[in-house]
Chains A and B, each alone.
Chain A
Amino acid sequence: MAPKSSAGKEKLLGDEDEVLQAVILADSFNKRFRPLTTRKPRCLLPICNAPLLDWTFESLALAGVQEIFVICRSHAEQVKSTIAESRWSKPGSGIKIMPIMTAKETFSPGDAMRDIYTRGLVTGDFVLVMGDLVSNVKINEVVKAHKERRKTNKDAIMTMVVKESGSRHRTRPTGNSSVFVIDSETSECLHYEPVMGYPPTKVAGIPREILAEHPEVEIRNDLIDCSIDICSVEVPSLFQDNFDYLDIRRDFVHGVLTSDLLMKNIYCYVAKEGYAARVQDTKSYQSISKDILSRWTFPLVPDNNHPAGDVYEHRRGNKYIAKDGSVVLARTSRIGNNCLIGPSTQVSEDVQITSSVIGRNCVIGSGSIIDNSYIFDGTIIGAGCVVEHSIVGAGVEIRENSRVGKGCLVGDGVVIGPEAVLERFEKLSKKRETGDDGEQEDEEEDVDSEEEEIEANQEDSIKAQLGSDCNAIVWPREAPDEDEDEEGVENYKNQRFLRLGLAFSTPSTSFFFCATGDDASDLEFTDEGSLSSDEDSDSSDEDSDSDANFTTLPTSSATSLTLENSTIVAASDAVAESEFRAEVEQSLERAFAEGHSVDNAAVELKTLRMASNVPLSRVRESVVSAIVEKIQIVEGGGVPQRQEIAKVINRWGPLIDKIGGVDAVETVSILQTHCATSERLPLFAQILVALYQADIVEEVDMRRWHALPSSKGAGEEPGPRRDGMKKCWDVGAALLEQLSQQESDSDEDSEGDDDDGDDDEEEEDEEEELRRGPRRIEQLSIIK
């Protein structure tokens, strides 16, 4: 018998090759769910009555992951204990889960990755997911594909799982999506471009090289980024090397792809079947709940494989009722489609519940209406209340005849009412009793401090609204000013796109908030963004089309493209900009002082640029200005001055072209704009000449620059700056005049003019082809 049974065991525990590891970043590193997340980490928020973390575990288990590291930061203790109690730590769960508490100083996924590296957690290729993932994608197959690729190409360090969804899908975060440029055959990810709701991303810049090197590219704006990444061991170390990678997508991926140094590539896996999405904001919380209830996540559905182990009965119309018979539904209560009702919850007479989730041990008072809302465990809702499009935390008490408007977040333990009225997008949390919070974590404290200040400025008007016996404090609806200079996605205005309670986009209204009378509509917003991106996705549909669009690119376009998205970046993260500027200046000073070789200096700049993710033009700008500033002004000017200039230019001029990408025209423009305001204005001509002699600027370039209206100072508000520009321009004109005189044959001149002509035309059709809104002129003016 023995051999037989052992054979049986083999069969049973068959097909497990080496252990598949996964790392979960259990911290959100943002505050989108405040105040729900003041006392509880986001990954423990329930969705469909099971903590997010459990869904993530189950998703990974589904994919045959055997070993999971959970990186937790805020409320780490809670996470740890929850895991310890969960069924996952029981024998036979087949999964080993190790919570890792990282330092309080880890403020970004990047830091977490560095932590992973320093601890040396992962041994081989591993799956990197966020603590808020819900998926039934067969990740193990992606891993297989990844390993195959690794065999042939050692530089394939990462595979991102993305899901086709169409550009307008409830589960696709409008405020925080992204454009992927993918090679059609190899499915290598060539370029990554974050897309934001505000400021609206109008254009996606595609570096020229990509189109040159790859015959067929897909530019896709219709993908959900599941942020399931199959990473190789190098990835954490890369984070370690690049201390300033913060976000995995915007910094790491973008960095790796744009880097000219580390020749690594990243691939995309477009999941054909299966479902995967992240609960990264209240809006996606809602849409994912809906997806779960309408069974997109099968077999991960309440009635089949509920992560929390509850048993639900699935009824016609996707109604899920806890099956232990503990639920009490009054005869006259009406449960609409797509509802989930937790164990031992009581629903009284005449209650209407539509597409909502009710937690365990809740009590819904008679006559209440609950629509598209998510009510956590143990909440009591009085009679005659109306709750719509809101999230109500655990143990909340909403007294009778209260009204909770769309998009409200009510923190745990809040008591409001009776007759309370919550405006739309109100955020409530419970007033702190002293000694209420057990573990004194410092970030807990800063929460408290924040709360204190909030409590400080509570107007009584609101308190009146919240009913007599209310213990809640209202969070400010307008963003504190410092939020404004928060970087990109966390920008307050952009966040508004990610809020629960906004109608979903419909084909008729290209952006959802236009429909609802929501205050987000005050964001001045043009459809262009959505349009252009849509067209991107269109062109991705048939590659031939996208070819037609992009292989015929005029060479000058790519630079101007990068310029354009620099407009976005500029708009979004001014902070990074200024920091970067400072960095560059320092490094250059060092270079000048210590007399580095040009190449070394260039390398330094490149890394800098990658690190803080700024477009090429910025670097050039700073370099040029730095060089110009380096030139001492010799009293009386004349020959010594010219020598001085020549010296500097000859020594450092080449650097301008070494920083990657050559655009002499731009160089000149920058020079001009810089001189226009600096006291080196008089030197402009000489510098220009010097550049010309150093072959950094050709005559043609100068002509082109000269042809640019912006060079005349067009679009400049009158003032010293404009005069400066003008002056420079005149000087340039004179210079060109001389040059053309030097050249004896006159047709050179006309040719030059031709160039201008061609150039303009070129630009024209570039624009048609790429549907770029603003012209180069604005681009330049923006850079200033």
Chain B
Amino acid sequence: MSEPSKDGPPTPLSSSQPSQKSMTKAERRELQERQRAAKAAQKQQQGQGQGQASSSASSRSKAQGAPQKKSESGRPRASSSAAPTSSRDVGGAARDGSGGIDSEGPKTRGLRIFSHFGLPKTSGHQVKGDIHPAIIRLGLQFSEFKICGANARCIAMLTAFKTVIQDYTTPAHNTLSRHLMTYLSPQISHLVAARPMSVTMGNAIRQLKLEISGSDIDLPEQDAKDALCHIIDNYIRDRIIIADEVIEDLAVKKIKDGDVVMTYARSSLVEKILIRAHALNKRFSVIVLDSRPLLEGKTLLRTLTSTTPPISCTYALLPALPSLIKEVSVVLVGAHSLHTNGSVYSRAGTAMVAMLAKEHSVPVMVCCETYKFSESIMLDAFGKNELAPLKFSPPEAPKPHSNLEVLDPLYDSTPPTCITAVVTEVGLIPPTSISSIPLALGKTSL
């Protein structure tokens, strides 16, 4: 327990130190990891080559774990490695809040509950190990929410990996199939540090790993690399691009003339569907619901109204939902990920839209490619969530202080009971039966 004083960025650690006794096992493990990582980081700063190996080893061990588990443990580690200056926003406050108030019992309860939420990252977090520039750039784009949304992030990551792989050369006495992954791992963990990994990214990476380890050892390096890039391209094409087109075709069929389609926030897929339907001269109107923190709905609104003739749109914030739901004929929403128990993990607020839609027996269709499937059970969006960075909380919002926290969770999970159907590239299916689709499990590929 004397390490933290020795190394690692002091502030977060020292602040959370007193609370260790009252910490759960998991948290203690987290802390240790954090310290290990920090140590490794420092070693690298001292410029010892093997520092990288150790850190990459540690991250490899996690890399095998289920994606979102990794991302969880990944988060705090990154935050601690983040530059203590600017990165100490909401999350940071929450954490040392819990540390500080631990003495006066009850308050921490409230605080601790949220302390495990994904802490928002800032671009300020340091780069450790030899991270490929493409990845660094991507990391920035993630943490700045320049690239946002499950599909966009996954595609961006894979394309970045292609460049990484092309620039990669297998060191002596090593084979690509064995070493490439160890080389990629720090890249991945860098991205995770920038922003918690999305399920889609997790799945894609898992697939990639499979391919890498499976790649022929005798193959000349360049060929092997090309092969991998080709595989990546195929993945993007099959699992995302084409899948989207199929889904569009399916979903558009469900929009009839005179329909009122309600959607929440902005899903790239839903946007495409609506545009397509409009292109097919279906006469329908759209209700765009929106809410802080991201207010993505406005972006959707712009795209919808810039068509000719503009799609007739109604815009409202979430609380107005009850006044509007009556006139809605179908609800179309996107998803971040889809879980074994059929619950849909999506932009915060979706759950309430679905809930109220069910109340008024309005069909709720979730548009989601199968590669968003995650082999895990999600009971509520509490176990796993992520907070929006402070930059999204408007200036007039009160600044957090000892008694006041500002939390902007990004996701919530919609129970399967509120969902009529999930539109996937393999057809419209009930949410619970997603796990019975081999494609989703990656057992087969298109």
Task: Show the binding face of A for B, using Cβ within 8 Å.
Answer: 316, 337, 506-508
A–B Cβ pairs within 8 angstroms, 5 of them? A316-B327, A337-B312, A506-B306, A507-B306, A508-B306
**CB within 8 Å of A: which B299-329 residues:** 306, 312, 327
Cα A506 to Cα B327 with chains together (Å) = 29
User: CB-CB < 8 A to A508: which residues of B?
Assistant: 306
User: CB-CB < 8 A to A337: which residues of B?
Assistant: 312
User: CB-CB < 8 A to B306: which residues of A?
Assistant: 506-508
Write the nearest CB–CB distance from B286 to chain A, whole angstroms: 13
Cα A507 to Cα B306 with chains together (Å) = 8
Cα A506 to Cα B309 with chains together (Å) = 12
B323 — nearest CB in chain A belongs to which residue?
A316
Cα A555 to Cα B327 with chains together (Å) = 64
B305 — nearest CB in chain A belongs to which residue?
A506
**CB within 8 Å of A: which B263-312 residues:** 306, 312
Cα A507 to Cα B310 with chains together (Å) = 12
A508 — nearest CB in chain B belongs to which residue?
B306
Write the nearest CB–CB distance from A306 to chain B, whole angstroms: 22
User: CB-CB < 8 A to A507: which residues of B?
Assistant: 306
Cα A507 to Cα B312 with chains together (Å) = 17
Cα A697 to Cα B312 with chains together (Å) = 66
Cα A508 to Cα B312 with chains together (Å) = 18
User: CB-CB < 8 A to B327: which residues of A?
Assistant: 316
Binary flags per residue of B390-407, CB closer than 8 Å to A gives 1, else 0: 000000000000000000
Decide if the interface of chain B is mainly helix, strand, loop or mixed: loop
Write the nearest CB–CB distance from A342 to chain B, whole angstroms: 25
Write the nearest CB–CB distance from A318 to chain B, whole angstroms: 10
A316 — nearest CB in chain B belongs to which residue?
B327
User: CB-CB < 8 A to A506: which residues of B?
Assistant: 306
Cα A337 to Cα B306 with chains together (Å) = 20
Cα A369 to Cα B327 with chains together (Å) = 25
The number of residues on chain B lying at the interface, defined by a beta carbon within 8 Å of a beta carbon of chain A, is 3
User: CB-CB < 8 A to B312: which residues of A?
Assistant: 337
Across chains A and B, which 5 residue pairs bring their CB atoms closest together, nearest first? Answer: A316-B327, A507-B306, A508-B306, A337-B312, A506-B306
Cα A572 to Cα B327 with chains together (Å) = 53
Cα A49 to Cα B265 with chains together (Å) = 38
Write the nearest CB–CB distance from A208 to chain B, whole angstroms: 35
Cα A258 to Cα B182 with chains together (Å) = 72
**CB within 8 Å of A: which B103-160 residues:** none
**CB within 8 Å of A: which B312-351 residues:** 312, 327
A318 — nearest CB in chain B belongs to which residue?
B314
Cα A508 to Cα B327 with chains together (Å) = 32
B324 — nearest CB in chain A belongs to which residue?
A316
A336 — nearest CB in chain B belongs to which residue?
B312
Cα A316 to Cα B312 with chains together (Å) = 15
Write the nearest CB–CB distance from A172 to chain B, whole angstroms: 18
User: CB-CB < 8 A to A316: which residues of B?
Assistant: 327
Cα A507 to Cα B303 with chains together (Å) = 12
Cα A120 to Cα B319 with chains together (Å) = 53
Write the nearest CB–CB distance from B380 to chain A, whole angstroms: 34
Write the nearest CB–CB distance from A484 to chain B, whole angstroms: 36
Write the nearest CB–CB distance from A143 to chain B, whole angstroms: 25
A507 — nearest CB in chain B belongs to which residue?
B306
Write the nearest CB–CB distance from A317 to chain B, whole angstroms: 8
Write the nearest CB–CB distance from B305 to chain A, whole angstroms: 9
Cα A506 to Cα B308 with chains together (Å) = 11
Write the nearest CB–CB distance from B257 to chain A, whole angstroms: 14
Cα A737 to Cα B306 with chains together (Å) = 65
A515 — nearest CB in chain B belongs to which residue?
B308
Cα A316 to Cα B316 with chains together (Å) = 13
Write the nearest CB–CB distance from A418 to chain B, whole angstroms: 31
Cα A506 to Cα B312 with chains together (Å) = 15
Cα A316 to Cα B285 with chains together (Å) = 14
Cα A508 to Cα B309 with chains together (Å) = 13
Write the nearest CB–CB distance from A515 to chain B, whole angstroms: 10
Write the nearest CB–CB distance from B356 to chain A, whole angstroms: 17
Cα A694 to Cα B319 with chains together (Å) = 77
Cα A316 to Cα B327 with chains together (Å) = 9
A337 — nearest CB in chain B belongs to which residue?
B312
Cα A337 to Cα B313 with chains together (Å) = 11
Cα A115 to Cα B327 with chains together (Å) = 57
Cα A508 to Cα B303 with chains together (Å) = 12
Write the nearest CB–CB distance from B320 to chain A, whole angstroms: 12
Write the nearest CB–CB distance from B125 to chain A, whole angstroms: 27
Cα A175 to Cα B297 with chains together (Å) = 33
Write the nearest CB–CB distance from A236 to chain B, whole angstroms: 40
Cα A337 to Cα B287 with chains together (Å) = 14
A506 — nearest CB in chain B belongs to which residue?
B306
Cα A9 to Cα B287 with chains together (Å) = 48
B314 — nearest CB in chain A belongs to which residue?
A317
Write the nearest CB–CB distance from A83 to chain B, whole angstroms: 39
Write the nearest CB–CB distance from A337 to chain B, whole angstroms: 8
Binary flags per residue of B347-364, CB closer than 8 Å to A gives 1, else 0: 000000000000000000
Write the nearest CB–CB distance from B395 to chain A, whole angstroms: 13
Write the nearest CB–CB distance from B401 to chain A, whole angstroms: 27
Cα A316 to Cα B320 with chains together (Å) = 13
Write the nearest CB–CB distance from B123 to chain A, whole angstroms: 20
Cα A506 to Cα B307 with chains together (Å) = 11
Cα A507 to Cα B327 with chains together (Å) = 31
Cα A66 to Cα B327 with chains together (Å) = 44
Write the nearest CB–CB distance from A503 to chain B, whole angstroms: 11
Write the nearest CB–CB distance from B159 to chain A, whole angstroms: 30
Write the nearest CB–CB distance from B362 to chain A, whole angstroms: 16
B327 — nearest CB in chain A belongs to which residue?
A316
B302 — nearest CB in chain A belongs to which residue?
A507
B312 — nearest CB in chain A belongs to which residue?
A337
Write the nearest CB–CB distance from A126 to chain B, whole angstroms: 33
Write the nearest CB–CB distance from A721 to chain B, whole angstroms: 52
Write the nearest CB–CB distance from B235 to chain A, whole angstroms: 36
Cα A776 to Cα B306 with chains together (Å) = 40
Write the nearest CB–CB distance from B275 to chain A, whole angstroms: 16
Cα A316 to Cα B328 with chains together (Å) = 12
Write the nearest CB–CB distance from B386 to chain A, whole angstroms: 31
Write the nearest CB–CB distance from A356 to chain B, whole angstroms: 16
Write the nearest CB–CB distance from B335 to chain A, whole angstroms: 30
Write the nearest CB–CB distance from A177 to chain B, whole angstroms: 23
Cα A85 to Cα B306 with chains together (Å) = 48
Cα A507 to Cα B305 with chains together (Å) = 11
Cα A462 to Cα B306 with chains together (Å) = 39
Write the nearest CB–CB distance from B283 to chain A, whole angstroms: 13
Write the nearest CB–CB distance from A5 to chain B, whole angstroms: 42
Cα A3 to Cα B70 with chains together (Å) = 74
Cα A238 to Cα B312 with chains together (Å) = 51
Write the nearest CB–CB distance from A601 to chain B, whole angstroms: 55
Cα A506 to Cα B305 with chains together (Å) = 10
Cα A438 to Cα B306 with chains together (Å) = 52
Write the nearest CB–CB distance from B298 to chain A, whole angstroms: 14
Write the nearest CB–CB distance from B325 to chain A, whole angstroms: 12
Write the nearest CB–CB distance from A527 to chain B, whole angstroms: 19
Cα A78 to Cα B13 with chains together (Å) = 80
Cα A30 to Cα B196 with chains together (Å) = 64
B310 — nearest CB in chain A belongs to which residue?
A506
